[in-house]
């Protein structure tokens, strides 16, 4: 392969943090005009490697060499890597919500005339770039009024507003639905045709196999191997084996349902949309979950699953109109989060960094934060009790952290999710609601969380899982409710249904005719 075919080489990259060797002699070669994927378990070092590449971790804080277009680079800042032609889009979007699409695209890179920003020119340029990323909105629209998928496109448009040759995307599809994800992957293919190389970190292996030209696998801070579509082909089992260091023959642990008596019951639940009071986001919803049962909620983006449970647990969303919640046959008050906790209900939100965690807190303080009474004496927190509780959670949930006094923001996504689970399990709930519990985490961490779900069910707790991934719901649930436009449209046995039937129910079409049922559980 000629040198001109290689755009990037990272040679023997090593990076240390206190008590942790994040990268250990990592080597990677990226060919020009390709989509190059990086995969590995949470904490494997993927994001750290890209931060080294783009100057977030500057030259001098790591060892090894970076060659871009054959020239050795020593980036000291993010701006220096952008100047060389490299742009990175982080998993956490960095848009300013109140600014328009145009303003967000050109922030820090505005075009001016006689010292004044030329907004007419900026809008014209914005529309041209927006066309390249399939973003069909008014360029004057505030970014806060757009969905996550559209905001992701603004980030890509911002990168394209600069003269870039290499685009790095960290988990770009983790918060997107299937249609939005496919649109983003098509954009990367279009950019490849234009001559722009992409590096994509993702845990969605099916997407990588479908879209990448090469996949580099990283485990425990070291390069395992790089597979090329043209030479090796891609085999998901081989990728998983490289990521976790062992075969993962079944992505879902074995589980025997032991559903007992009804534990959670919701009847006649009605909630109005806070922005449009005439629209019901929950329209006379009835459902139940038995002790020891794992029940899934499936629905398309915008169906209202998250809003339903946020309205139930603490009434933190929408305008409550009517409805009753019972736990163990007893009517309970869930009108505030403390009252919901008192009633035995815990809700793990889908957005762990905004709604679930205080990123300024330590692991230990996070673990006990929803149940401070359990570690308090005479209205004061007992530090010894907090340490015992946090160490117990770290051990049981296998949270990878050098210390329980480590900041939560320093943890990988999977370990942040385990910490968030630990926070709510510390309240010893009877009912555990998990909203997108495996979003943005790797297959190994997913398996551990599935095992944890089954452990809690075996203890007799009622488990609710909200997920956008139908194979996940089919793989771990006993029953699945389908949700469409604020109403439950189906209650099906997970072992006797398939993705096609769920999709029909999720779109309000209804079940397939009896002679069209295949009965394939996880098709």
Say if 59 falls within a structural domain: yes
pLDDT interval class at 519 (50, 70, 90): very low
By residue range, what is the domain housing residue 374? Answer: 360-428
pLDDT interval class at 523 (50, 70, 90): very low
pLDDT interval class at 521 (50, 70, 90): very low
pLDDT interval class at 292 (50, 70, 90): very high
Q: What is the mean pLDDT of the chain?
A: 89
Q: What is the DSSP string of 180-220?
A: HHHHHHHHHHHHHHHT-EEEEE-S-HHHHHHH-SEEEEEET
Do 170 and 70 share a structural domain?
yes
- Window from 1-5, 250-254, 302-306, 352-356 with minimum mean pLDDT: 1-5
Which of the listed residues 192, 215, 244 is the one where a domain comes to its end?
Answer: 244
Chain centroid to Cα 346, Å, comes to 20
- Which pLDDT belongs to residue 469? 84
Calpha distance 468→466 (Å, rounded): 7
Do 373 and 497 share a structural domain?
no
Report yes or no: 324 and 368 within 8 Å, Cβ to Cβ: no
Q: What is the DSSP string of 78-144?
A: HHHHHHHTEEEE-SS----TTSBHHHHHHTTS--EETTEE-HHHHHHHHHHHHHHTT--S-TTSBGG
Report yes or no: 103 and 183 within 8 Å, Cβ to Cβ: no
Is the pLDDT at 41 greater than 90, yes or no? Answer: no
Do 370 and 309 share a structural domain?
no
Calpha distance 155→269 (Å, rounded): 38
- Which pLDDT belongs to residue 522? 40
Calpha distance 332→117 (Å, rounded): 58
Do 282 and 136 share a structural domain?
no
Distances (CA, A) of 169 to 4, 90, 153, 162, 337: 23, 6, 11, 16, 36
> What tens digit of pLDDT does each residue of 76-96 get?
999 999 999 999 988 777 889
DSSP 8-state assignment for residue 352: I
Do 176 and 58 share a structural domain?
yes
- Window from 236-240, 360-364, 401-405 with minimum mean pLDDT: 236-240
Do 125 and 240 share a structural domain?
yes
Q: Using only the alpha carbons of the chain, give its radius of gyration.
A: 24
Do 437 and 404 share a structural domain?
no
Do 462 and 371 share a structural domain?
no
Say if 354 falls within a structural domain: no
Do 193 and 70 share a structural domain?
yes
Do 125 and 35 share a structural domain?
yes
Do 265 and 124 share a structural domain?
no
Say if 353 falls within a structural domain: no
> What tens digit of pLDDT does each residue of 232-284 get?
788 888 888 888 776 666 788 888 888 889 999 999 999 998 877 888 889 99
Calpha distance 377→27 (Å, rounded): 53
Average pLDDT over residues 90-115: 83
Is the pLDDT at 364 greater than 60, yes or no? Answer: yes
Do 391 and 275 share a structural domain?
no
Domain count across the chain: 3
Identify the three-state secondary structure at position 66.
strand
User: Max Cα separation, the chain?
Assistant: 75
Say if 170 falls within a structural domain: yes
pLDDT interval class at 511 (50, 70, 90): low
- Candidates 318, 340, 335, 347; CA nearest to 486 is 318
Which of the listed residues 244, 259, 285 is the one where a domain comes to its end?
Answer: 244
- Which pLDDT belongs to residue 248? 61
Give the CATH number, domain containing residue 52. Answer: 3.40.50.300
Neighbour tally for 181: CB within 10 Å: 20
Report phi then psi at 499, rounded to 5. Answer: -60, -35
Average pLDDT over residues 435-458: 88
Cβ-Cβ contacts under 8 Å for 392 (sequence gap 6 or more): none
Say if 473 falls within a structural domain: yes
Say if 146 falls within a structural domain: yes
Say if 352 falls within a structural domain: no
Proportion of the chain in helix, strand, coil states, percent, rounded to 5: 35, 25, 35
Average pLDDT over residues 105-130: 83
Which of the listed residues 212, 229, 244 is the one where a domain comes to its end?
Answer: 244
Neighbour tally for 176: CB within 10 Å: 21
Report phi then psi at 465, rounded to 5. Answer: -120, 120
Say if 349 falls within a structural domain: no
Q: Percentage of the chain with pLDDT > 70?
A: 95
């Amino acid at each position: 392969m000629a040198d001109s075919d290689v755009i990037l080489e990272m040679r023997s990259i090593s990076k240390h943090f206190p008590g942790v060797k994040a990268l250990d002699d990592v080597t990677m070669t990226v060919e020009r005009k390709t989509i190059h994927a990086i995969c590995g378990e949470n904490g494997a070092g993927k994001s750290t490697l890209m931060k080294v590449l783009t100057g977030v971790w500057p030259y001098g804080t790591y060892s090894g060499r970076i060659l871009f277009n054959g020239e050795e680079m020593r980036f000291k800042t993010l701006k220096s890597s952008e100047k060389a032609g490299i742009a990175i889009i982080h998993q956490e979007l960095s848009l300013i919500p109140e600014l328009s699409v145009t303003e967000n695209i050109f922030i820090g890179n505005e075009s001016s005339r006689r010292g004044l920003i030329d907004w007419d020119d900026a809008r014209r340029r914005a529309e041209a770039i927006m066309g390249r990323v399939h973003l069909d909105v008014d360029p004057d629209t505030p970014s806060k009024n757009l969905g996550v998928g559209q905001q992701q496109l603004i980030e890509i448009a911002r990168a394209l507003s600069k003269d870039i040759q290499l685009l790095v995307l960290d988990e770009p599809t983790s918060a997107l639905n299937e249609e939005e994800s496919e649109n983003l992957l098509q954009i990367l293919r279009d950019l490849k045709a234009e001559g722009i190389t992409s590096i994509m970190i993702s845990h969605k292996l099916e997407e990588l196999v479908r879209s990448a030209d090469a996949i580099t696998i990283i485990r425990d801070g070291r390069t395992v191997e790089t597979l090329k579509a043209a030479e090796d082909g891609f085999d998901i089992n081989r990728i998983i084996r490289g990521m976790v260091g062992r075969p993962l023959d079944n992505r879902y642990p074995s589980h025997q349902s032991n559903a007992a008596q009804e534990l959670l019951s919701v009847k006649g639940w009605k909630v109005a949309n806070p922005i449009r009071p005439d629209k019901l986001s929950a329209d006379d919803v009835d459902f139940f979950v038995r002790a020891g049962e794992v029940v899934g909620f499936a629905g398309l983006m915008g169906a209202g699953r998250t809003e339903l449970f946020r309205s139930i647990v603490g009434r933190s969303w929408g305008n409550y109109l009517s409805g009753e919640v019972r736990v163990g046959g007893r009517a309970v008050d869930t009108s505030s989060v403390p009252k919901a906790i008192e009633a035995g209900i815990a809700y793990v939100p889908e957005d762990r960094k905004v709604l679930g965690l205080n990123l300024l807190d330590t692991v230990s303080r996070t673990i006990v934060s929803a149940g401070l009474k359990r570690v308090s004496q005479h209205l004061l927190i007992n530090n010894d009790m907090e340490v015992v509780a946090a160490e117990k959670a770290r051990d049981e949930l296998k949270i990878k952290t050098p210390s329980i006094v480590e900041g939560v923001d320093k943890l990988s996504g999977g370990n942040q999710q385990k910490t968030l689970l630990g926070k709510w399990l510390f309240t010893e709930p009877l009912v555990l609601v998990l909203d997108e519990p495996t979003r943005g985490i790797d297959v190994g961490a997913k398996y551990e969380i599935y095992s944890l779900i089954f452990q809690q069910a075996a203890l007799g707790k009622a488990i609710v899982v909200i997920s956008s991934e139908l194979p996940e719901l089919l793989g771990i649930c006993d029953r699945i409710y389908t949700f469409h436009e604020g109403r439950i449209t189906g209650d099906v046995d997970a072992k006797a249904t398939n993705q096609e039937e769920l999709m029909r129910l999720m779109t309000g079409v209804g079940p397939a005719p009896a002679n069209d049922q295949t009965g394939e559980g996880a098709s």
